Amino acid sequence: MRYNFTHLLFVSFCFLSFTGISQTTATSKSVVINGVSVIDPREKPTSFAPFLKNLEAPTPGGSSLKSHILDQKIKAGNKYPARSSRSTNIDFGTAPDPVVINEMNMRKYIGPIDREDIYNGGTPLDNTMSMSKDYLLASVNSFLWAYDITGDSNLFVDDKGSTYNITFAEFGQDYITDPAVEFPFDPKLVYVPEHDKFIFLFLSGRKPSDSKIIVGFSSTNDPRDPWNVYMLPGNPRGVDQWTDFPMVGFDKNDMYLSINLLKANTSWQKGFQGSIVWQVPMEEGFEGDSNLNTTMYDDILYDGGNIRNLTPVQKGDLKSQNESGFTFLSNRNFDIDNDSLFVIEIDSNKQLTVSTKQLPQKYGVPPNGIQADDDPNDLTDGLQTNDARFLGATQYYNSQGARYTEFVGNTMDFSTGRSGIYHGLIQTMGDHTHLQTNIIGVDSLDFGYPNIEYVHNGQGCYEGTLIAFNHTSFTTNAGISAIRHSNIEGASGYSNIIRLKEGDGYVRRLSGSYERWGDYFGIQSVPGHPDQVYTAGFYGTDKRSSSTWFNRISVTDTLPFKAPYTSENGDYMKSTVSVTVEPENGFAPYSILWWDGTTEFTHSFNAMMVDQASMQVSDAKGCVITELVNIDNSTPSTNTKLYPNPVSDEVNLTFYVSSNTKGSFGIYDMAGKLIVNLGELEILEGANSFTFSTRPLLKGAYILLIKDEGDNNISKQTFIKL
């Protein structure tokens, strides 16, 4: 798996200090990462790579911190003892329930003996996943696994047909000196739709001398092709510290990676040395540049104190993704109860500021999740839930332009004394900010390690999120659950909690009083299907072990909002057209706006003056769709086909020409103005297929126009961008 490797050098320059809002300080500096390793997953490893793995992987923050968390759990359990009562004022069932479309486990095939089996992950499992239209990537401690979604088969397959995976040691072989000592851990996977490529990263080493961050960028959209692999220093200050607990997000240009710095062999009170953020240009990584020109943000303080565990707020919709800058959230995660929220923002000028907000509902250190073989009176027993840090967040705009930030994390459910899910929402409209929080829980189950993903109905309407998480109880084996949060017109509502996977047994891999549940939960919307989500969660197997279970889930609120129409030509030279629109589905009452300002559902106009009429139809919940009325009475060509229409990410056009020509391709608005010049391409006689991405376009109606070298129209097709 080894290609063109040069040694990495840590180079820093241009040190900048700045102050954000009151009581906030931070620093940034440019860091050039020199050297790139290229690994090829198709190459057979030449090393036997013997590796002994201790199942008891470190708790985030180290052993001394683990002791402190257990002590906090005892105090919290005594203050809020478990009891049977209604756990929340959430009115479950006000939003439609998610529906499971497909499901499977993380499986492998052994060719020589013609046998299928499942993969048992490490301890903790640390599920992470990403997916494109064709491929699913997943990782647990400590390997990378891949699946061909369209072909319904394992992707990493040897010449005997057997499944293999890529170990962390193999992926980072040019940087990891001794895997048995460094013990690589904490994987993260990202799919970047703008590039149609993947990012894979993990940590290695737990001492100042060997701590490092391994970051790989796929060179193509096929995970089997070579990856460009870089190493970021895990001890960037050059002192007695090491890197722990990575969290990752991205915008249109950069990847943002937050980590915690810990001092070796120090108590938890003094051991935490602050969180830092790495801003890494994705284009350089995907292209395999020999240098990565990164920015490191350090000394992120509020009121003189370090802020811990910066959770990336992933940009969900296209409007958010086109905005520059990035946001993180944090809290007082070790407290028995607290209501503080920290908002960390990096703007387009690489200036970092911190602000605080008071949440309307407190969170706190959760109890461990109870299993069938646990002692319910031992507050340190059970599936480890760690602390109350936020674990996932997303941002999006609704149809009226209000910005929403939703976030989730573990918490004590104070009404039951069980472990629940803390769900927060920040609504911003102009200068007004509204905060809303709920604790998702029931009195019969413990919930843990949630993650969250932005969803809508496929038309950019009925915005909200899917929240997925792990569950367990004394009588329910460790499995996976999910809930839909709908945010139509600011009216927050939840579906019922649905079971995605029932565990096949309880988990018992460690000899101590508790088991590791896993520090992460994998989740991502399905490319091209914003009303669907893929999840990767933790479940107990029938062999007292744990593995990963995948679900593809539909979260569509209603049938697609439509605006079908009928048209009639007038008698005088057929020049007058009367169009009547009758909306379907959605939420009544409806309104309409024609291109010329008319607001009636029946509209008459002179067809000789208009090539195409456009209309915007809105429902009572703010869903707006744009429709085109084709008033050309000529028979449309059966040789031309544009699909899908409407479109969310990619258009495909099939067309025919009678002879070779050079074609010019352009996207126009409905007024005929050129919006995007797609260039000139050689077109060969016969059938041709043309595709392009519509992700950079805003919502609305457009015309795709193809002309030959004589400026004659080859194809003129209208389409709707969702």
Last residue of a domain, one of 529, 554, 579: 554
Please write the tens of the pLDDT for every residue from 350-392.
999 999 999 999 999 999 999 988 887 777 788 989 899 999 9
385 and 470 Cβ atoms separated by less than 8 Å = no
Q: Which of 137, 95, 144 is nearest to 457 (CA)?
A: 95
Q: Which pLDDT belongs to residue 558? A: 64
Asked if 586 contacts 561 with a C-beta cutoff of 8 angstroms, the reply is yes
> Looking at residue 489, what is its pLDDT?
65
Contact 242, 207 (CB under 8 A): yes
At residue 67, the pLDDT reads 67
Buried b (16+ CB within 10 A) or exposed e, 238-247: eeebbbbbbb
- Same domain? 287 vs 378: yes
Answer yes or no: is 48 within a domain.
Answer: no
Which range of residues forms the domain containing residue 688? 635-722
Same domain, 290 and 194: yes
Of 627 and 202, the one with more pLDDT: 202
- Report pLDDT digits (tens) over 116-174: 889 887 778 889 999 999 999 999 988 999 999 999 999 999 888 899 999 999 999 99
pLDDT band of residue 61 (cuts 50, 70, 90) is low
The rounded distance, in Å, linking the Cα atoms of 722 and 720 is 6
Residue 608 dihedral angles phi and psi, to the nearest 5° = -70, -20
Beta strand 352-363 with 338-346: parallel, antiparallel or unpaired? antiparallel
Task: With respect to residue 255, please indicate whether it lies within any of the assigned structural domains.
Answer: yes
Would residue 691 count as lying in a domain?
Answer: yes
Long-range contacts of 594-601 (CB under 8 A, 24+ apart): 595/670
Of the two residues 696 and 326, the one the predictor is more confident about is: 326
379: left (phi over 0), alpha (psi -120 to 50) or beta: alpha
Judged by DSSP in three states, 551 sits in: strand
190 and 228 co-located in one domain: yes
Q: Are residues 511 and 581 in the same domain?
A: no
Question: What are the Cα distances from residue 333, in Å, to 69, 273, 305?
Answer: 10, 16, 14
Instruction: Compute the average pLDDT of residues 328-351.
Output: 95
Rounded CA-CA distance 150/147 in Å is: 9
CA 433/CA 405 separation, integer angstroms: 11
CATH number reported for the structural domain that contains residue 492 in this entry: 2.120.10.10
Residues 674, 573, single domain; the answer is: no
The token pair that represents 663 in the structure block:
């074609």
> Domain end: 503, 530, 554, which one?
554
Task: Say which CATH number the domain at 567 has.
Answer: 2.60.40
What total number of domains does the chain contain?
Answer: 3
Write out pLDDT tens, residues 270-319: 688 999 999 999 999 999 999 999 999 999 999 888 999 999 999 998 88
C-alpha to C-alpha distances, 581 to 525, 560, 594, nearest whole angstrom? 33, 16, 11
Whether residue 639 is predicted with pLDDT greater than 70 in this model: the reply is no
Residues 6+ apart with CB under 8 A from 491: none
Beta strand 314-315 with 390-397 is parallel
Q: How high is the mean pLDDT of the chain?
A: 86
Residue 331 maps to a domain: yes
> Which whole number is the average pLDDT over 617-621?
86
Q: How many CA atoms lie within 13 A of 272 on its CB side?
A: 22
368 lies in a domain? yes
What pLDDT is stored for residue 574 in this prediction? 55
Q: What is the mean pLDDT of residues 185-204?
A: 96
Locus of tokens 């793995």: 53
Q: Are residues 563 and 496 in the same domain?
A: no
- When pLDDT is averaged across residues 456-467 and rounded to a whole number, the result is 87
Location of structure tokens 């007058």:
576
Residue 3: inside a domain: no
Q: Flag whether 2 is in a domain.
A: no
Q: What mean pLDDT comes out for the span 455-468?
A: 88
Q: Three-state DSSP class for 42?
A: coil
Contact yes or no for 493/485 (Cβ under 8 A): yes
Strands of the sheet with 686-693, listed across from one edge? 641-643, 650-657, 686-693
Q: HSE of 332 in the Cβ direction (CA atoms, 13 Å)? A: 16
What is the three-class DSSP state of 136? strand
Residues 615 and 708 occupy one common structural domain: no
Bridge partners of residue 447, in order along the sequence: 471
In a domain, 585, yes or no: yes
What confidence score (pLDDT) does residue 651 get?
A: 87
> How many Å is the Cα radius of gyration of the chain?
27
Residue where a domain stops, chosen among 554, 578, 602: 554
Query: In terms of domains, do 168 and 215 share one?
Result: yes
pLDDT exceeds cutoff 60 at 231: yes
> Quick one: tokens of 91?
């009115």
Q: Which of 120, 100, 162, 113 is nearest to 508 (CA)?
A: 120
Among residues 207, 4, 99, which one has the least CA distance to residue 499? 99
Helix (H, G, I), strand (E, B) or coil at 308: coil
First to last CA, the chain: 42
Letter string b/e over residues 253-280, b meaning 16 or more CB atoms within 10 A of that residue's CB: ebbbbbbbbbbbebebeebbbbbbbbbb
Residue 310: the pLDDT is 97
Q: Are residues 431 and 529 in the same domain?
A: yes
Q: Is 216 helix (H, G, I), strand (E, B) or coil?
A: strand
* Measured distance CA(451)–CA(468) in Å, rounded: 6
DSSP state of 112: G
168 Cβ contact partners less than 8 Å away, ≥ 6 residues apart: 142, 143, 144, 176, 179, 184, 185, 187, 202, 204, 214
517 and 615 assigned to the same domain = no
Are residues 153 and 190 located together in one domain of the fold? yes
Segments of 20-124 assigned E as strands = 24-34, 37-39, 99-105, 107-110, 115-118
CATH number at residue 665: 2.60.40.10
Per the document, the length of the chain is: 722
Q: Which pLDDT value is given to residue 414?
A: 93
Query: Is the domain of 114 the same as that of 198?
Result: yes
pLDDT over 70, % of the chain:
88
244-263 pLDDT, tens digit per residue, is 999 999 999 999 999 999 99
pTM for this model (two decimals) = 0.83
Q: Residue range 527-548: average pLDDT?
A: 93
